[in-house]
Structure 1
Amino acid sequence: MVWGTGTPRREFLYADDMADACVHLMKTYSDTALVNIGTGEDITIADFARVVATVVGFKGSISFERSRPDGTPRKLLEVSRLTELGWRATTSLEVGVGLAYQAFCAKRRRSR
């Protein structure tokens, strides 16, 4: 069950890419202006749910609880400064979700 209509758009960044961007900035950036770290790409919540379903092998149907709020229609960072500094995320959404799912499954197996 996904809250809302699934139409809001969100940007997702894999944690290792975030860490890589921070290291890149520490090595290459000395200005005081803020730098947004992100992918510069967004996806609807509905499409994200489909990506997750595919990665985890979910065979059911995805339903939306339209009585629940959608929240902000779009959350997307402006990352041109980061791009100009020579950094881009390298982990695709599908790969990042897969890696997160693998880590979740491994931790779950260890806790049994």
Structure 2
Amino acid sequence: MTVEVIDNLQMIKESVRDFAEAHIRPHVMEWDEAQHFPMDLFHRMGEHGFLGVLVPEAYGGAGLGYQEYVTVIAEIAKVCGSIGLSVAAHNSLCTNHILQFGNE
């Protein structure tokens, strides 16, 4: 692994961690107790590229690889496993199938 790759992963890790601490952690218990799915949070995560990590930039995604994908999921899941799982499902079960089997 090159220094550039390590630096990029560290930058992504810090960015996602900061986002999760600011936008997820303060609300986790409230969402859980109210059984609320935070759609507005998912819109913000989409704007930050967290919901299209593996999607090529040509299709509006971040165009990153699996190391970056795992880093994003891990940092979100450290704050809230449910949100982390939802982000993982969106990236791998939803968008991946569209990329693999969809057409122009």
Q: Which has the larger radius of gyration?
A: 1
TM over 0.5: no
Q: Which structure is higher in helix share?
A: 2
Which has a greater percent of strand? 1
TM-score normalised to structure 2 length: 0.24
What TM-score results when the alignment is normalised by the length of structure 1? 0.23
Which structure is higher in RCO with an 8 Å CA cutoff and minimum separation 6? 1
